[in-house]
């Protein structure tokens, strides 16, 4: 064999029956995904350290809804032997566990590396060593494309829009060169590439979803991650919102129900989409600036949201909108939920959820009453 001849991926046996493993399964997207899987009759193994505020309540919610279907391993994703044991019995894996904040990665880059990259490698290698065709769907990020500083923008009203009419109409496609910025972008981007290469090199049936801004019920948004829910939570509590930059930065937002549809479709169609990455977001029809979302929240609560401004943060993109055409076609996705409808639904859930993040206070009750 010549040095230029590529190595063939080894043949893998079919995956044995077992639970569907959802790492980060008590988190925002993970709990919604686990709920849908259990409702469809699948046994679900939730792997989560329960470190983020609100995720313990999400796990309790799952256990109440699906006492016969949902089991849990309470462990850190960095515990390689525990993770390998969970992977050893799984029939499929949705890998959502991650360190998710750019700001945290700047303060603790070593932890970010261990959680996002090293743990992903350990998970992939555990599946490889099984020698079975266990599908793995990986939650990646739009941050793999860097800060997109070369995309010329014009500010029109309260939003930045690309000068190039084709980018304005379609968004950022998967053919965009990868350009990792910040430790978070590096760790998630490198993990993204490992997931794709384990399909190419070892024949694992893997796929990657590069997510834009996902929002919806069971999201306990913070200043560092989950900004749509964070804005609503602050507004319902009568508290000010901090904006980093000028608030005209644009994102395409996607309701969590549509995101779960995409994850399940990637699993269902894994033979057709294995080894591929897809941009997942609301697309141009759900592209909205931070200021526009704040305006809509003010309309929902009946009063303007108090806003404070600070400097731009490292790696922030002034514009990111997913070109969703490849994902829509390959995964057979329906049109996403319109963002104003989804925002109103999230506000309603935040107001009513007994285990949600809205603290009982006169300000919160006054703001929530405006949603009645």
**C-beta separation of 257 from 301 below 8 A:** no
Catalytic residue check, 244: no
**C-beta separation of 142 from 279 below 8 A:** yes
Choosing from 184, 194, 319, 320, the catalytic residue is 184
DSSP state of 118: I
How many C-beta atoms surround the C-beta of residue 157 within 10 A? 10
**C-beta separation of 299 from 230 below 8 A:** no
How many C-beta atoms surround the C-beta of residue 82 within 10 A? 15
Q: For residues 196 and 198, what is the distance between their CA atoms, to the nearest angstrom?
A: 6
Q: For residues 172 and 210, what is the distance between their CA atoms, to the nearest angstrom?
A: 11
Considering only CA atoms, which of 228, 203, 243, 178 is closest in space to residue 337? Answer: 228
Q: C-alpha angle with apex 14: 9 to 18, nearest 5 degrees?
A: 130
Considering only CA atoms, which of 234, 223, 242, 243 is closest in space to residue 363? Answer: 234
User: Which phi and psi (to 5°) does residue 22 adopt?
Assistant: -120, 105
**C-beta separation of 160 from 249 below 8 A:** yes
Q: For residues 18 and 71, what is the distance between their CA atoms, to the nearest angstrom?
A: 12
Which H or E run includes 290? helix 290-301
Q: Annotated catalytic sites, by residue? A: 184
């Amino acid at each position: 064999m010549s040095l230029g001849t590529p190595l063939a991926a080894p043949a893998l046996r079919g995956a044995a029956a077992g639970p569907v493993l959802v790492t980060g399964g008590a988190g925002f997207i993970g709990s919604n995904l686990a709920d849908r899987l259990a409702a469809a009759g699948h046994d679900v193994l939730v792997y989560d350290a329960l470190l983020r505020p609100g995720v313990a309540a999400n796990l309790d919610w799952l256990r109440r809804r699906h006492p016969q279907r949902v089991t849990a391993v309470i462990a850190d994703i960095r515990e390689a032997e525990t993770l390998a044991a969970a992977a050893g019995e799984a029939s499929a894996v949705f890998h959502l566990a991650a360190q998710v904040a750019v700001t945290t990665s700047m303060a603790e880059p070593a932890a970010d590396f261990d959680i996002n990259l090293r743990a992903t490698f350990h998970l992939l290698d555990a599946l490889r060593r099984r020698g079975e065709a266990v599908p793995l769907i990986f939650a990646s990020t739009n941050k793999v494309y860097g800060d997109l500083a070369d995309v010329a923008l014009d500010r029109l009203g309260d939003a930045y829009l690309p000068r190039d009419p084709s980018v304005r109409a379609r968004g950022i496609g998967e053919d965009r060169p990868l350009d990792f910025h910040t430790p978070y972008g590096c760790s998630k981007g490198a993990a993204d590439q490992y997931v794709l290469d384990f399909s190419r090199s070892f024949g694992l049936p893997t796929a990657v979803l590069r997510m834009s801004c996902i929002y919806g019920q069971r999201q306990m948004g913070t200043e560092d991650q989950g900004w749509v829910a964070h804005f609503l939570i602050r507004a319902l509590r009568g508290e000010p919102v901090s904006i980093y930059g000028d608030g005209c930065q644009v994102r395409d937002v996607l309701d969590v129900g549509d995101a779960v549809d995409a994850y399940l479709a990637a699993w269902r169609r894994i033979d057709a989409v294995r080894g591929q990455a897809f941009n997942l977001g609301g697309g141009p029809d759900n592209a909205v600036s931070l200021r526009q979302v704040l305006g809509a929240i003010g309309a929902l609560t009946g009063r303007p949201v108090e806003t404070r401004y600070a400097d731009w943060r490292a790696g922030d993109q002034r514009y990111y909108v997913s070109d969703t055409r490849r994902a829509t076609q390959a995964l057979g996705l329906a049109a996403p939920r319109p963002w104003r409808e989804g925002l109103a639904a999230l506000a309603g859930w935040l107001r009513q959820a007994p285990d949600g993040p809205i603290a009982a206070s006169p300000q919160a009750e006054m703001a929530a009453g405006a949603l009645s």
